Structure formats: C-alpha cells, structure tokens
Structure 1
C-alpha cells in the first residue's frame, strides 16, 4: 500500500518546510509555509485511508474501531487547523499580521480545544492504538508500535524533530506493507 510510504514522506516534507520557513526568524506566511501545510494536508488524506486499512488488518473489534474513530477525529481536527493556517497565511502580508487573525479564530468558543489542543491529539492516539493492536496480535513486531509512539512524542519535545519522527514512522510502517486482512484464527488468539 503506497500510502504507508507516501504519508510519512509528506509529513517529513512538512517538517523540513517548517524548518526552512524559520530560517528568517519567523514562520509564515510564504511559499515554505504554504507548501509545508499542503504536504501535511495531503498526508492526512492518506492517513484516513491508512487508519481504515489498519482497522481491517486488525480484524475490526472494539479496540481497532476505537483507534480508527480516534484517529479519524484527530485527522479532521488537524485538517481544520492546517486549513486555517493556510488561509491565515494567504490573508496576511507578513508574520506579524498573522497573530491577530489566529487570535480571532481561537477566540471562537470551542475552537481552541477542538482544532488546536485536545482533539488533534486523537490522531496520534488512534495511530498508536491501531499499530499496538496489530503488535498485540503479533501481526507486526513490537518495535513498530514503539516507533509509532516515539514519532508521536518527538514533536512535543521540539517541532524541529518532525522529520526524524517521520523517518521513524516510515520505519514502523515497513512491516505493515506485507500485511493482509486478519483471519479469524489470528484474532481468536489475541487478548484484544
């Protein structure tokens, strides 16, 4: 499944564009800002497909379905966030002009937790749950789940680590490239 390769590469491209965008001392607006955000939006589309595929490979069930639902909710929140970022970038003449626009958006009741702080985290929670479910069922090695968790934590340390996280995610996804949908016998042995 090509999306297992392309999605992490697009996340890495976003991370590199984000670093390049900061070379002048500020981030956005501009070409690097827009291209980076478009790369991440494209990755999110692929991740929605990936999450559905991971749920199927895990054989469905409560845990896989919960992981899928969390991942989908997080992806939608991130898509809203990145779309807002792109629009604010287009509407702003320079970095200083972006601040008041972001403040106006975040002042709308509910936007902060739904689009920026709480719900986007579900994207990473869902991804970890789905790969951990596959690891618990011995469909992928344990280290795939550990690498997925590591790539989710790295941006919390520093957003400049996003390209490294994307590389870890790509490595974590390698065993998934050979997986087929789970068979009932495989699921019966799993405690989840």
Structure 2
C-alpha cells in the first residue's frame, strides 16, 4: 500500500463512520423533542466537525486518484475539488458556530454562502466520485455515484435520516478501501509494484 492510496482508503471508512456517529447522537439529543446544547449535541457536532475537516482532505486525495486523461478532464477535476473543499469549509464554519454561539454571532456565515455551499460541496464530491467510477482502470464501481447522490437526497429529505445516509455513503465509498491497485505519483498503475509471474 503506497502513501498515495493509503489516505483515501482510511478516509473512505472513517468519514462515513463519523457521520453515522453524529446522526445517532442527533437522534438521541432529539428524544426530548428539542435539539440544543448538551452532551449529545456537543459530542455529535464534534464528530460532524471532524467529518467535514477530513472531507476537505478526502476531496484532494480523490483528485489525485483521477487519471490525467485530457486537459478538460483535468480542469473539471480541479474545479470539482476546489468547489468541494470550499463547500466543506463553509460547513466547518457553520458547525463551529453551532459549537460556539459567540462565534456565530460575531462572524456568521453570509446567507448566500449558507444557501449555496451545500450544493457546491455535493457537486464537487459527486463529480470526483463519478470520474473515478468512469476511469480506466476503474477506481470505484458504477453504483458508487448513485449511492453518494442518495446520501445527499436522504439528508435533504430529513436530517433524522442521517444514520441511513451515512450507511449509504459508506457503501458508496468503501470500495476505495478494498482497491489494491498501487498508483504512482502520476496516477498510473505502478507495474513494478506488482509481483512478476515466471513461466
């Protein structure tokens, strides 16, 4: 396992797991009919914050796995990465405001960014996942993009569906953890890393 592929393999499992923890704690926090400050709220938002900090790293790592096929593809992958990281940063801003009300009052996220950042983040991540599913050699199965899309859809329908959404995201990204194709820095298969078959 090379450093180029180790990080996305770990994050493909860790990030959905953190989101699952947040979703479960959010349900526990809402058992009294209200969501607000308390142990479950603070712990859940800490998991949520960690997930989006790692998602920024994950997006950059996914970009490195996209084969540099053509100039338009490279531009599209770079644009998706920038958009996704920007969206993740806006999420981090909002989550910090939830954890620290004084920060939310003194430096709230501008309303246009609050409305646009979820869509920008989703488009960035979904674009990179789709590119990896369409790449040759294939880095993700064809059903990974629909599962990632379903993840976002479930969250938009109801935040109480976060645990189910996290499981869908795990199912969509987990193939990265099983992918054993070593890559070199230029994103091409490392032939020397494969065992030689002698006849």
**Residue 174 of structure 2: SS of its match in structure 1?**
helix
What residue ranges of structure 1 are gaps of 5+ in the alignment?
92-100, 185-192
2:33 is the alignment partner of 1:25: yes
Contact 1:12–1:167 (Cα < 8 Å) also in 2? yes
Deviation at 1:105, TM superposition (A): 6.5
In structure 2, what is the equivalent of residue 53 of structure 1?
61
2:15 is the alignment partner of 1:2: no
Structure 1 vs Structure 2 CA RMSD: 2.1
Q: TM-score, normalised by structure 1?
A: 0.80
Alignment of 1:155-166 (within 5 A): 155-166=155-166
Contact 2:53–2:89 (Cα < 8 Å) also in 1? no
After superposition, what is the alpha-carbon deviation per residue over 1:8-60, rounded to whole angstroms, capped at 9, x for unaligned? Answer: 00011111111111111110111111111110111112111211111010135
Once superposed, which parts of structure 1, at least 4 consecutive aligned residues long, lie more than 4 Å away? none
Q: TM-score, normalised by structure 2?
A: 0.78
Q: Determine the C-alpha separation between the residues in 1 that align with 2:32 and 2:119.
A: 29
**Residue 100 of structure 2: SS of its match in structure 1?**
helix
What residue ranges of structure 2 are gaps of 5+ in the alignment?
1-8, 69-73, 190-199
Larger helix proportion of the pair: 1
Alignment length (residue pairs) = 169
Question: CA 1:157–1:141 in 2, change beyond 3 Å: closer, same or farther?
Answer: same
